[in-house]
Amino acid sequence: MDLGSNIKRLRVEHCLTQGELGKIAGVSPMAVSQWENGRAVPRMGAIQRMADYFGISKSSLIDDEADGFVAGSVHYEVTSLTAPVYGRISAGDALEMLPVTEEAYVIPPVAESHPDGFFLTVSGDSMDKIMPNGSLVYFDKSAEVRSGDVVAVTVNGDDATMKRIFFAGDTIVLHPESNNPSHRDRSIDASDPDAPQVRILGKAVWHYLVNDERL
């Protein structure tokens, strides 16, 4: 039985409506419907709240028989392949990094190839050609970054943004991939001691779009 079926079975067994379960999990009735129909996957925080309410372990809710995560047309196990989600990252103007809020699923091929990773949630539209607002993006902290890669960067320490990065001599270019023409390249001269300091947090290696459970 898959995760969505487990959620529906427990909801029905406890005589709950989708709205009532949504209140327990901290999401909308629409989110619960999407889980049960297999169109979306709940985040770990919502899974924990449901497990607490039903008096079962989180793994029991996730792992009942053939449970897993669907990416495209491929079904993957999700029992222990998770990574921390460090809040939201701007795909527009820079945004302050937030502390760890939860964990999210990583499919086995990605987790095995990039074990030193973390998630950030996209907020904004400056990368919406490839990563829409609300996407969970998995970054490898140890991967080699080359010109043209999509990266998470901090600018002047506390601000974080996601852009395609290009290196041209001493110049660093943060390039948006947006349908919104208001987003433009930002060039930083690394040789200028007064220029903003750019630190690369990780290279984007995988992403998926999750439903906005707050709606």
pLDDT of residue 73: 39
Asked if residue 196 is part of any domain, the answer here is: yes
CA angle 8, 105, 85 (to 5 degrees): 115
Are 88 and 160 part of one and the same domain?
yes
Which domain-ending residue is among 52, 76, 100? 76
CATH number at residue 132: 2.10.109.10
CATH number at residue 46: 1.10.260.40
Last residue of a domain, one of 24, 52, 76: 76
* Residue 194 and residue 120 share a domain: yes
- pLDDT given for residue 64 in this prediction: 47
Residues 125 and 71 in one domain: no
45 and 131 belong to one structural domain: no
| DSSP class per residue in 173-211 | EEE---S-TT---EEEETT-TTSPPEEEEEEEEEEEE--
125 domain-assigned: yes
Mapping DSSP onto H, E and C, the string for 85-126 reads EEEEEECCCCEECCCCCEEEECCHHHHHHCCCEEEEEEECCC
Cα dihedral 184, 88, 209, 24 in deg (nearest 10):
-150
Total tally of structural domains belonging to the chain: 2
Measure Cα distances from 162 to 23, 43, 153, 159, 184 in Å: 33, 22, 6, 11, 13
Does residue 214 lie within any of the structural domains? no
pLDDT in tens, 61-102: 875 443 444 444 344 444 447 788 876 665 555 444 556 667
Domain that holds residue 41: 3-76
Same-domain pairing of 32 and 58: yes
pLDDT for the residue numbered 159: 64
pLDDT score at 210: 66
173 and 100 share one domain: yes
Query: The tokens 């043209």 sit on which residue?
Result: 148
- The reply to whether 55 falls in a domain is yes
Asked whether residue 38 falls in the same domain as residue 92, the answer is no
In a domain, 32, yes or no: yes
Strand partners, 119: 85, 138
Q: In a structure prediction context, what are the per-residue pLDDT tens digits for the chain, which is 215 residues long?
A: 578 888 988 888 888 899 999 999 998 998 899 888 877 778 888 888 998 888 888 777 875 443 444 444 344 444 447 788 876 665 555 444 556 667 787 877 788 888 888 888 888 899 999 888 888 899 999 999 999 999 999 888 766 789 999 999 999 999 999 999 999 999 999 999 999 889 898 999 988 776 544 43
Chosen domain end from 47, 76, 105: 76
Chain-wide mean pLDDT for the chain?
A: 80
96 and 199, same domain (yes or no): yes
DSSP type of residue 9 = H
Regarding pTM above 0.75, the answer is no
Residue 215 included in any domain? no
Q: pLDDT at position 213, please?
A: 47
